[in-house]
A and B are shown apart, each in its own frame.
Chain A
């Protein structure tokens, strides 16, 4: 067939509605994928950019040694921006008062991402600035002002240098990383460090090179530098696990949403192509009698498919782009960050989705057309040999796999999803078949709508089983998305509840504990814990010294060593959010010296249950046995300890205490009162960090909900396509019944009953499938707790029955309303 003829046929098919559903299904597939990936692409870049503020850079290189000049030269040669910081603890003096502070010395380019907020009065809101402290000046945390009894313009002694206090430091972007970056902040210029003479061999120093710029250049720099063992490379995901995990999960969810959207659209494309082919059997028969060869038929219909595919792709890309602009506009007030321009990937992905959907899901039905016997033209009762299942399912499976792997870049997620769907189809296909097979009755049972429907369901049990599975899988995929979305958002919200403690108080002396707690209880909301804190280090493991043990284990890379000094605590009960994964927690009345280790810590240093550790606490030594290993939730906004000892081991050691409280932003002046009364305690404000996490969670949740809405659209399309696909068979039977005297009420009742049964069955399939898939996804992909959802067991079948009935009756209205003569003529 020549191309003009193909184009004419395509146009007529589109105009007459024959090709309409296929075109719409392809268009929705392309549009959904394009808009989701455009949005995700831009939002990901934006969220990552926002999250980069936690590092004050895109990447950091950190070390206890000075950053070699060569690193900076190489970074700058790649066009990257650089800044340097040096953090160290130091005692500062003002008159008779002294205080341990955490000094951060920065150069002029700091920070590369995010901004410094400064003010002219302690505990005020402050405003962003582009500057850093000028040489000779320092900026101080609000709480240092009452503690040192100083004001702006006064000077402080930092080591050998005397520096002038120029501003109040309200916030710095890369402060959120660790709870144990102890002491209030003193920000100074890097040029003044030499004059302080505090940087000596043995000092606790943390040098950082901050980097920002092009992603590929950053990665190439990482490859090029000899980082290990003395230098660590830090990105947002490593430095701030809270944000990293939220981003990872959101990304997985958005991809999963896209993946399900593609699958649903693929099913819709397959169904509508199948129907199109079926309605063209006669057409092809005529063409063949007129001399069209199978090869010509194949070429012709493939060209037609590609032509329609091309139209759908162009329209889908346009629709997807427009939809994504609408989405961005709608969410403009919620997305505080400016979205960067999209990359070309979403468009490529959308186009390829259209092409692969057309080839994998629609092509088998089109290829099948070449097998139509020309004899069918004079003998309409001649069926058409069924489509090869291998071709049809094989192409669909291969297409899905290709598309999903490319889309999610995650073979594991794809295989699990496909495997679950296939297993569910096999199990429930067999079940539905058996149920429909039972008790086949004679005749059409046209006495009542209900019996007519049941008899019809049983007579066409092959088609009905397939339809139950299609409805079931569509509803299941939607349920999966709803359940995962709910679990994710709940999880995020529970990590940072509205009234989560947003201030930590440390270094509380034993005799201050009651006073501090009374004051906190009076003027703020006290947190739920009170931990003793004791600084100590591991000095011996079993019969080896800790140093020897570490050498034997051979731990590489930066980070603290086994012998590093750490915060130890003791506790009667295991802290909340800690799960014992090996051994057992000590009993409340135990007097034995026992120790519980964090899982990764134990793995890193090769420590196991039963190992004996000796701790050196300020010269005093204590032995204890490892009796449990714990896993922690690093995302939670509570203090986490690598090492917790039993009361029997540590309770008689002098300790300082740590607690937490929640304070409204308007009541922050309370910190002045607290610090004035207890000048030696340390208050860590994490309210800004919590606010930032909450903002990101809100943005990501919005994106998740939006993707859900888009996928629901694809789901609706599958239902319509599936009902359309079975419309011809129903039309034939019901047209005949009406011609033989069946009333509209009888047909209406029968259709309602049929859709109710199909929908309820599909709902049961969907609920079973959804529970299985969700449990698997929660455990394997999202690392959440798996749980059953009893509420969907009633909701699934009920909603399934209602939705299918409403969509089904809407799609079959013409069956009831059209005069029987027209129905029979159209057959």
Chain B
């Protein structure tokens, strides 16, 4: 049986607003195993992005336990969570989030450099070739199209050879055709690297390509039909 990579137990996220307490996540329990590809779906404001942030260690839960591999994220401080992210996690974002001051190659090298590993450049170059950008190595993000930027972001996500890849609406900013190509690339690489993929998306077709769908509504996990219906 494959091991659990990400687990959440009784996770709550509550924020204080001027109108009183706002419950964003309300008792989330889940387990995601190695090699799975999981889509988190739900309507806007359902709490799916917040859940992704907490599972990836970008944000902290108000209560409950979140584990990422062997690390109990709820017990770690930001310093230790960052080290865990650097070691095990890759990200792909809707708005690409490339550093404008670095070239495509430098952006891909960044996670490896941050880890202090050597050979960053050759690995990065190889990855960019894989995503079809061998001739764009020295281009800056502003010199690339949206699809190209997202391909650089995908190459960067795999550069650190992550165990888990978190993707937040990876095709949300792209046209259908480009989105489709990016999606294919993401799943191909995921398979090649044997990565666990956790993805937030509105796109039901994209969700359908995942091995499992977790639906969120009103901060709780609901049967996926319910979430799909409310999303539509």
Interface residues of A (CB under 8 A from B): 1-2, 5, 8-9, 12-13, 16, 18, 282-283, 285-296, 373-375, 377-380
Contacts and interface: CB of A to CB of B under 8 A. Distances in A.
A8 B101 CA distance: 9
B160 interface: yes
B85 A291 contact: yes
18 contacts: A1-B113, A8-B102, A288-B58, A288-B82, A290-B85, A291-B83, A291-B89, A293-B78, A294-B82, A373-B58, A374-B82, A375-B59, A377-B58, A377-B91, A378-B49, A378-B53, A378-B58, A378-B168
B87 interface: yes
A289 B96 CA distance: 13
B79 interface: yes
Given A2-B116, A289-B85, A291-B85, A379 B101 contact: no
Given A16-B101, A375-B59, A287 B53 contact: no
Nearest to A371: B78
A292 B97 contact: no
B87 A377 contact: no
B58 A293 contact: no
B171 to A, nearest CB: 15
A285 B58 CA distance: 9
B114 A296 contact: yes
Lowest 7 CB-CB distances: which A-B pairs, in order?
A291-B86, A12-B101, A293-B82, A375-B59, A374-B58, A375-B58, A290-B111
B59 A294 contact: no
B96 to A, nearest CB: 10
A294 B85 contact: no
- How many B residues are at the interface, by size bracket? 35 or more
Contacts of B100: 16
Contacts of B83: 291, 293
Interface hub of A16, A291, A380 (most chain B Cβ within 10 A): A291
B111 A291 contact: yes
Contacts of B95: 380
Given A282-B97, A291-B111, A377-B93, 8 more contacts: A12-B101, A16-B101, A288-B58, A291-B85, A293-B86, A294-B82, A373-B58, A374-B85
Interface in B35-57: 49-50, 52-53, 56
B82 A5 contact: no
Nearest to A382: B59
A292 B86 contact: yes
A282 B102 CA distance: 14
Nearest to B53: A375
Interface hub of A289, A374, A375 (most chain B Cβ within 10 A): A289
Contact of B87 (A5, A18, A291, A294): A291
Given A286-B97, A289-B91, A5 B113 contact: yes
A379 B169 CA distance: 12
Contacts of A293: 78-79, 82-83, 86
Interface hub of A12, A285, A296, A375 (most chain B Cβ within 10 A): A375
B106 interface: yes
Given A5-B113, A375-B59, A378-B168, A291 B82 contact: yes
A8 B121 CA distance: 15
B204 interface: no
B139 interface: no
A510 B130 CA distance: 114
A18 B114 contact: no
Contacts of B101: 9, 12-13, 16, 18, 283
Contacts of B71: none
A30 B91 CA distance: 43
A291 B71 CA distance: 15
A288 B89 CA distance: 11
Interface hub of B50, B82, B86, B160 (most chain A Cβ within 10 A): B82
Contacts of A291: 82-83, 85-87, 89, 111, 114-115, 160
Contacts of B113: 1-2, 5
Contact of B59 (A283, A373, A380): A373
